Amino acid sequence: MDTILIILGIIALVVGLLGCILPMLPGPPLSYIGVLLLHFTDRAQFSAWELIVGGIIVVVVLVLDYITPMLGAKYSGAGRWANWGSLIGTIVGLFFLPLGLIVGPFLGAVLGAVRDGSDKHNALKAGIGAVIGFFVGTVLKFVACGYFIYLFVKELV
């Protein structure tokens, strides 16, 4: 039974890593499931603290994945409507995968900045900030999945 759980854990880790760039797969939660599967074997026993921290990491990364495009727009000088446009564009972009995940926050921030009364230059700046925020969120997902892979490998070796 341990072998089956380890194999399923490895599959969850690999699919989770793919989920960092394929938006239809929840990357960090799948990677965390891989760690949980290893926990239920005789090969590894994670402490309650490690499992709780892992769960918190998953929740934080999932929330930040939606918020970072908005933060990117905000820190590039965007106003209130551009920030909301970026968030709404991120959510709408989910329906137009995979390009929608980049174009959605960009267009949402640009349209919101125009609504705020920004000129073209500042509106584009807000859109670029939203895209940078999207990429920051993607990097955070990779870091979280990398951490789970590290835990998994450390316990098996």
Segment 51-94, tens digit of pLDDT: 999 999 999 999 988 788 778 877 777 777 887 888 888 788 87
Predicted local confidence at residue 58, as pLDDT? 95
Predicted local confidence at residue 153, as pLDDT? 92
User: What's the predicted TM-score (pTM) here?
Assistant: 0.80
Predicted local confidence at residue 143, as pLDDT? 95
Residues of the chain with pLDDT under 70: none
| Rounded Cα gap, residues 84 and 151, in angstroms | 37
Entry field: residues in the chain? 157
Two tokens at 37? 């599967």
3-state helix, strand, coil in the chain (%, to 5): 80, 0, 20
